[in-house]
Structure 1
Amino acid sequence: MTAAPPLHPVHEDPYLLVLDKPAGLLCVPGRGEDKQDCLSTRAQSQWPDALIVHRLDMGTSGLVVMARGTEMQRALSAAFAERRVHKRYEAVVDGAMPLREDWSLIDAPLMADWPRRPLQKIDPEGKPSATRWKALSLPSGEPAATHVLLEPLTGRSHQLRVHLLSIGHPILGDALYGDAALQARAPRLLLHASELGFVHPVTRQELCFKRPAEFVITP
């Protein structure tokens, strides 16, 4: 098996790492020998004390923070649980969304769609879930698509994908929630974690990392 290329951290210090995960790479190992290559395994080959704090879906690219050691893992996990971490994503979605100065809100509870797991669904009995969105631009061509900014105020599984689907604007390239036509319009899921901000648990410095998306849209 060919060795994976080395990781080039966005940020590295004795306490934590910030990495830019490529689309198509798992954050943690999955079931089966073909799913052992992942971000955490690659990171631990370079930084043996690296530990997962949060995850991105396999198809999502972008910024991921990893702790160095269990104490830092607890501190960073608490920051995520207490919503003290700023997260912003970019996506390209189907259809024309209105261009406004203000952010709009999707407030819809989510729960597992048990007969179709790992899919999630909106359900009044689900966990409270909220996403802010703002349209950036309308790419040229037909069918219409919109480049949007997304800020999840909660951290539910597949939250951004299901929330956008619920308002009629699924993310292009989504193999889980989109039909064949939607998948054919992009070579991958067009969802990218572009900003990550938090207070460093040790130095108390305010950190903010940005990696803009580099999406390719198939007309």
Structure 2
Amino acid sequence: MTGSDFIAPPCTEDIQILWQDKTCLLVNKPAGLLSVPGRHPANQDCLISRLQQQYPSAKIVHRLDMDTSGIMVVALNADSHRQLSLQFEKRKTEKSYIAIVFGIVAQDKGSIELPLMTDWPNRPLQKVDHQAGKAALTHYQVLSRTPEQNNSRLLLTPITGRSHQLRIHLAEIGHPILGCDFYAHEQARAMSPRLLLHAETLHFHHPLTGELIQGHSPCPF
């Protein structure tokens, strides 16, 4: 299935506004909702189009995968959009995610550094490519292990922001995220009806004052 063929199932869950001022919003995106409109004409329902009904000047700054839930910052004017986009581009933001992965992760913490690129014949999939891939780095820490369910709960800190980075990095070390339709094997895919990946924290500097904003969205699983 290519990106242009895919039709997203309806998402009935509402977007939660976590914090707002005149420059930007912190929102909680539900799992199953696109961040921006998809290529297919049927995929117009998305986070930014919903927000623009109430905030016409809202502009997307960064994205989460459709299947990932969690915190996002949305700009409310052009100046804020420019400033926030620059922070993401220059890696001045800090993000953390919670994931439940297949198997018992042996090390308490570690790093995954594998270069990624688009798997063009199989878009939107990505793949590891040591020649042509772009650098990608993920730090992880084990929060808990559940041997009876053969899974581990991880805190993930991506240093880079490649497409599908967390999903593919964890799959490559043998611990795919539960419910991942793209990279998990059949057993891990069947262990959850949704992708168990949630953007829990987002730290950035306020686009007007420079104050450090520490956003948090409680993990729903």
CA deviation string 1:98-127 (max 9, x = no partner): 352xx4111111111122111111111210
| Consecutive unaligned residues in structure 1, runs of 5 or more | none
* TM value normalised by structure 1: 0.91
4+ long deviations beyond 3 Å: 2-8
Q: Say if 2:156 is the partner of 1:147.
A: no
Cα 1:169–1:7, aligned 2, differ >3 Å: closer, same or farther?
closer
Aligned AA (2:201)? E
3-state SS of paired residue (2:141): strand
Kindly report the root-mean-square deviation, in angstroms, between the aligned alpha carbons of the 2 structures.
Answer: 1.7
Are 2:104 and 2:147, in contact at CA under 8 Å, matched by a contact in 1?
no
1:177 corresponds, among 175, 178, 183, to 183
Distance 1:3 1:105 in 2: 34
| Number of corresponding residues | 211
Cα 1:177–1:108, aligned 2, differ >3 Å: closer, same or farther?
same
Distance 1:115 1:204 in 2: 43
Are 1:97 and 1:135, in contact at CA under 8 Å, matched by a contact in 2?
yes
Partner of 1:79: 87
* TM value normalised by structure 2: 0.91
Distance 1:98 1:194 in 2: 23
Q: Say if 2:62 is the partner of 1:54.
A: yes
TM-superposed CA distance for 1:6, in Å, is: 6.0
Are 1:92 and 1:146, in contact at CA under 8 Å, matched by a contact in 2?
yes
| Consecutive unaligned residues in structure 2, runs of 5 or more | 1-9
Partner of 2:4: none
Cα 1:149–1:5, aligned 2, differ >3 Å: closer, same or farther?
closer
Are 1:4 and 1:42, in contact at CA under 8 Å, matched by a contact in 2?
no
Aligned AA (1:200)? H
Q: Say if 2:122 is the partner of 1:116.
A: yes
CA deviation string 1:186-207 (max 9, x = no partner): 0100000000001112122111
Partner of 1:135: 142
2:168 corresponds, among 159, 162, 176, to 162
3-state SS of paired residue (2:75): strand
